[in-house]
Chain A
């Protein structure tokens, strides 16, 4: 396999990114992927193969809620919204992530 220039997501960080994206308001799956893509300055690319399983998992866990609605181009689309439980989960995950990244930086700085 050729080495890819775009970094792959660490296991577990996708949930955090999705929740973070949804904090800006409800959006559909494609918008979530785009949002993450743009916010990372096009460094991260979320593929549908990992996005949808993650969305379904989060919905089942009660971190996000889904509702059908109409998209900007008048198409039927499923909109996701963060829930209270999701916000709590996000705070926890963010805490874990910042600890991890600080720790990794520290190791790499020496």
Chain B
């Protein structure tokens, strides 16, 4: 603390002080007939000052300013290096953002970590009766159901299209807290013939017209009232980029729905499982199903993030698939780095003079290295910036490719902290790879 204060107070007069002191010293030496060893005055000053300065920061700032200037002097080199780094980092980041979105996306609900997927009788599907029974048992805060395996025929007045719809229980929006961009989600008091549109569907067929709320649309020959439109970045409970066209709350009485429940605060997965066992046993007693036993094959699985992925059966092959892709793009990244290292080598030849001058002026090897590292770091971060923008574009393009599957899959690629961190880590990695790989040794 004292040091810091002293450093601050003495910053200004430091150079002057030392100058006077050294002059006095030499004068005294001359007066006393003492031979003065010819020292490198600027090196002495530097050494004396080093103690007193906010060395690291000040040096960093100066190196940074110098790096900017020196990069401006060679636009050709900078352009080709940036292009190379941008491409390497961009492709890599794009793949990373697709992988994280696909594997680790959080559903658009109010409190994703508190939601679990429930398996009764070895299946995560049950009929309305069983879901109601679960809800009334009071074990969970909320229980909702949704059915993904459904299509509706939408007649827009001219032609009929088959659209992908999700049927859900009446408490779906209120219990999950699914954000709605326009209008509202339905509540249990709404009639069954209401519909919430997906943002993409609304944009595509209604041109993003906000007056669509309240309008009637024809689904399967019946009139449904549009009550709301989902936001652009709506992520479904199921994840994996699955995105339906519309949400409905009407279904046939014996439709099987996927069961989701919200844990009470502080309830662990184990406690939930134990409570579920009792409820399922009672369910077997009061409403026996001839085809299955509810109280067998019980599971309570987290719905979001890593916790879900760990319990997912498909996690290993999916994870491997993305791992292989990431390794591939990492190779591209390495090639980009080696490329830039080569460019730097050519540049180093022309900078030999500058480095020799700096060394003879008393710069230490460490300082020189720091200077060069700052330059590469600046280059890498510029490259990462370019790559990041490129990644957004590439990822969106890739995500827009319609896979040949019966359900629409649309990954919601949006830059989040994970992707930004990843790009930054890549930039730092690029700096060290570029500076330390053999052609970069200058």
Q: Do A and B bind each other?
A: yes
Residues of A within 8 A of B (CB): 28-30, 33-34, 47-49, 52-53, 55-57, 60-62, 71, 73, 75-78
* B251 close to chain A: CB less than 8 A: no
Among B1-58, those with CB < 8 Å from A are 2-3, 6-7, 17-18, 20-22, 24-29, 31-32, 37, 39-40, 43-44, 47-52
With both chains docked as a complex, state the minimum distance between the C-beta of A62 and any C-beta of chain B, in angstroms: 6
Known: A29-B21, A56-B52, A78-B21. A48 touches B6 (CB 8 A): no
Q: Of A29, A49, A57, which one neighbours B43 at CB under 8 angstroms?
A: A49
Query: A48, A71, A73, A76 — which one has the most chain B CB atoms within 10 A of its CB?
Result: A48
Known: A56-B51, A60-B3, A62-B2. A76 touches B25 (CB 8 A): no
Which of chain B's residues has its CB closest to A29's CB? B25
Q: State the total of A-B contacts with C-beta under 8 angstroms.
A: 63
Report whether A47 and B24 are in contact in the complex, using a CB–CB cutoff of 8 Å.
no
Report whether B24 and A71 are in contact in the complex, using a CB–CB cutoff of 8 Å.
yes
With both chains docked as a complex, state the minimum distance between the C-beta of A58 and any C-beta of chain B, in angstroms: 9
Report whether B22 and A53 are in contact in the complex, using a CB–CB cutoff of 8 Å.
no
Chain A interface main SS type: helix
Report whether B2 and A49 are in contact in the complex, using a CB–CB cutoff of 8 Å.
no
Residues of A within 8 A of B44 (CB): 48-49, 52-53
Residues of B within 8 A of A71 (CB): 24, 28
Q: Of A47, A75, A76, which one neighbours B39 at CB under 8 angstroms?
A: A47
Residues of B within 8 A of A30 (CB): 24-25, 28-29
Query: A29, A34, A53, A76 — which one has the most chain B CB atoms within 10 A of its CB?
Result: A53
Among B397-439, those with CB < 8 Å from A are none
Q: Of A61, A62, A77, which one neighbours B24 at CB under 8 angstroms?
A: A77
Known: A29-B25, A30-B24. A57 touches B18 (CB 8 A): no
CA distance A29 to B31 in the complex (A): 15
Residues of A within 8 A of B7 (CB): 60
CA distance A48 to B38 in the complex (A): 10
With both chains docked as a complex, state the minimum distance between the C-beta of A34 and any C-beta of chain B, in angstroms: 8
With both chains docked as a complex, state the minimum distance between the C-beta of B156 and any C-beta of chain A, in angstroms: 79
Known: A29-B21, A30-B25, A30-B29. A48 touches B51 (CB 8 A): no
Chain B interface main SS type: helix
Report whether B37 and A53 are in contact in the complex, using a CB–CB cutoff of 8 Å.
no
CA distance A49 to B25 in the complex (A): 11
With both chains docked as a complex, state the minimum distance between the C-beta of A65 and any C-beta of chain B, in angstroms: 11
Among B44-83, those with CB < 8 Å from A are 44, 47-52
Q: How large is the interface on B (under 10, 10 to 19, 20 to 34, 35 or more residues)?
A: 20 to 34
Other A-B contacts than A49-B47, A52-B48, 7 sampled, CB-CB below 8 A, are: A47-B37, A48-B22, A48-B26, A52-B47, A53-B44, A56-B52, A60-B7
Report whether A52 and B52 are in contact in the complex, using a CB–CB cutoff of 8 Å.
no
Known: A48-B25, A53-B47. A60 touches B20 (CB 8 A): no
CA distance A53 to B50 in the complex (A): 8
CA distance A78 to B22 in the complex (A): 10
User: Residues 215-259 of chain B: 1 if any A CB is under 8 Å from the residue's CB, otherwise 0?
Assistant: 000000000000000000000000000000000000000000000
Which of chain A's residues has its CB closest to B40's CB? A49
Report whether A60 and B51 are in contact in the complex, using a CB–CB cutoff of 8 Å.
yes
CA distance A77 to B173 in the complex (A): 81
Residues of B within 8 A of A47 (CB): 37, 39
CA distance A77 to B31 in the complex (A): 15
With both chains docked as a complex, state the minimum distance between the C-beta of A60 and any C-beta of chain B, in angstroms: 5
Known: A29-B25, A30-B29, A60-B6. A53 touches B48 (CB 8 A): yes
Known: A29-B25, A30-B29. A76 touches B47 (CB 8 A): no
With both chains docked as a complex, state the minimum distance between the C-beta of A46 and any C-beta of chain B, in angstroms: 10
Known: A48-B44, A49-B44, A53-B44. A28 touches B24 (CB 8 A): yes
Residues of A within 8 A of B26 (CB): 48
Report whether B48 and A75 are in contact in the complex, using a CB–CB cutoff of 8 Å.
no
With both chains docked as a complex, state the minimum distance between the C-beta of B226 and any C-beta of chain A, in angstroms: 73
With both chains docked as a complex, state the minimum distance between the C-beta of B218 and any C-beta of chain A, in angstroms: 82
Which of chain A's residues has its CB closest to B46's CB? A53
Residues of A within 8 A of B25 (CB): 29-30, 33, 48
Which 4 pairs from chain A and chain B are nearest by CB?
A30-B28, A53-B47, A49-B39, A56-B48
Residues of B within 8 A of A49 (CB): 37, 39-40, 43-44, 47
CA distance A73 to B32 in the complex (A): 12
CA distance A8 to B277 in the complex (A): 84
Residues of A within 8 A of B21 (CB): 28-29, 52, 77-78
26 sample A-B contacts, Cβ–Cβ < 8 Å, listed by A number: A28-B21, A30-B24, A30-B28, A30-B29, A34-B32, A47-B37, A47-B39, A48-B22, A48-B26, A48-B37, A48-B44, A49-B44, A52-B47, A52-B48, A53-B44, A53-B48, A53-B51, A56-B18, A56-B51, A56-B52, A61-B3, A62-B2, A71-B24, A75-B27, A77-B21, A77-B24
